[in-house]
């Protein structure tokens, strides 16, 4: 049992730190101070919270920028569109 939990911890540690990259980010002093204060209160480094924030928000950013790119492609006429009444008629919903 102990070996299994140790192996799980090692695998978990290895998976998290197996391939990481360094990114230097400039932050406003107030935000950096808040991250440092949070880290001091919780015993974690400020970088932990930066990574957590990026991981929790990147899906939303990717989605928003994808939608923006698709909307721009529609405006440029690169994507075929159909009117709602055409779609409704093709589905038999135009009654």
State the sign of the Cα–Cα–Cα–Cα dihedral 38, 43, 49, 52.
negative
> What pLDDT score does 20 carry?
85
> What pLDDT score does 9 carry?
52
Smallest Cα–Cα separation from 24: which of 32, 14, 16? 32
Domain boundaries, the chain: 23-90
Instruction: Identify the segments of the chain with pLDDT beneath 50.
Output: 1
Q: What is the dihedral of CA 45, 51, 38, 17, to 10 degrees?
A: -30
> What pLDDT score does 19 carry?
83
pTM metric for this prediction: 0.58
């Amino acid at each position: 049992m102990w070996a299994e939990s140790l192996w799980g911890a090692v695998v978990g540690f290895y998976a998290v730190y197996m391939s990481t990259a360094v990114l230097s980010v400039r932050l406003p002093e107030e935000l950096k101070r808040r991250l440092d204060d949070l880290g001091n209160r919780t015993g974690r480094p400020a970088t932990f919270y930066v990574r957590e924030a990026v991981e929790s928000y990147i899906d939303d950013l990717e989605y928003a920028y994808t939608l923006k790119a698709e909307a721009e492609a529609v405006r440029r006429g690169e994507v075929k569109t159909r009117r709602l009444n055409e779609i409704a008629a093709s589905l038999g919903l135009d009654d």
